[in-house]
Amino acid sequence: MVISKHLLGLANTPREEITLILKTAQYFKEVLSRPIPKVPTLRGKTIVNLFFENSTRTRISFELAEKRLSADTVNFSAMGSSVAKGESLRDTVRNIEAMKIDTVVIRHHAAGAPHLLANWVEAGVINAGDGQHEHPTQALLDLMTLRDKFGALENLKVVLVGDIQHSRVARSNIHGLKKMGAKVGVCAPATLLPRDFKEAFGEDVHVFSNIDDALRWAQVLNVLRLQLERMRSGLFPSLREYAACFGLDRARVEAAKKEVVIMHPGPINRGVELSSDLADSEYSLIIDQVTNGVAVRMAVLYLKCGGDLEIANGGS
């Protein structure tokens, strides 16, 4: 299999590659459980983390993945940089590339920024979240977490709950889940669902307009963070009303009288889209998601930075 050196989104990643990444990630998950959770695989490779948006967990997760592969890492945040002097993204990146970087991990507020980069530079480009477009490593860690839990993704019923319209996590998950044969639903107020939703994602995606219907159908609810600033834009009337129609708590889940698991990409607005109790309950896979995040990112970096496939083949 020929693997692209970039990971720009799951929309354009073949199913076989997703399968290989997940398999490789399982291998690295085992590495992470060793007393010294480190391999020399990317020694001498240099990875730059270019974060134009705030991030805690994604940046730290990538940085840990890089260090556990023994890569050299350089961090760059838009604060305190030439971007403040008005340097263009293109010049920033061309300059960084001229310093002989192997891979750039980029988070950017503009959808498509990683794709532009991939056209401009020789280095591999990993999308760590671009605007409202894609966040492919988040979706991959979600897939890994579900495969761990259910054994397979085929025919698994997963509903994404919340602000589908503005969510790169939702977009990447829908693409990834459909490729892997899962059944996908979304549950959102009409104002937080893209108008051309069926055109973009296919007629086979189920649309639920309240959380109880979604609960009846789903085996998995992946609850998105509600961007509170949307409320100010009038896209939903109040937190209270949102929580009443789309918020999840233990009572609601237990009323469904069925097995279901809850996921959330974080950071959680506790008490808004998810009750604190439920987030920390036996229904929740949230901590597994975070743990798997490092393993998935190790797999992506390993496969994209030119690691051979032996580990992946031998590892599961």
Sites of contact with its own copies (CB under 8 A): 32, 35-38, 43-44, 46, 48, 51, 54-57, 60-61, 63-64, 67-68, 72, 74, 76-77, 79-88, 91-92, 94-96, 98-100, 228, 266-270, 287-288, 290-291, 293-294
- Rounded (5°) CA angle 40-45-51: 115
Sign of CA dihedral 279, 285, 291, 292: negative
Q: Which is nearer to its own copies, 86 or 314 (CB)?
A: 86
Closest by CA position to 287, among listed 260, 265, 258: 265
- Strand blocks (E) in 151-273: 157-161, 183-187, 206-208, 220-223, 261-263
CB of 206 to its own copies, least distance (A): 30
CB of 268 to its own copies, least distance (A): 6
Q: Which is nearer to its own copies, 14 or 131 (CB)?
A: 131
Q: Which is nearer to its own copies, 58 or 219 (CB)?
A: 58
Tokens of 55: 């991030």
CB of 241 to its own copies, least distance (A): 20
Residue 115 CA: distances (Å) to CA of 10, 52, 105, 250: 13, 15, 12, 41
CB of 256 to its own copies, least distance (A): 25
First CA to last CA distance, the chain: 18
Q: Which is nearer to its own copies, 78 or 192 (CB)?
A: 78
CB of 301 to its own copies, least distance (A): 15
**At 88, which amino acid appears?**
S
Q: Which is nearer to its own copies, 19 or 291 (CB)?
A: 291
DSSP 8-state class, residue 281: S
Q: Which is nearer to its own copies, 14 or 266 (CB)?
A: 266
Residue matched to tokens 């990538």: 62
CB of 174 to its own copies, least distance (A): 24
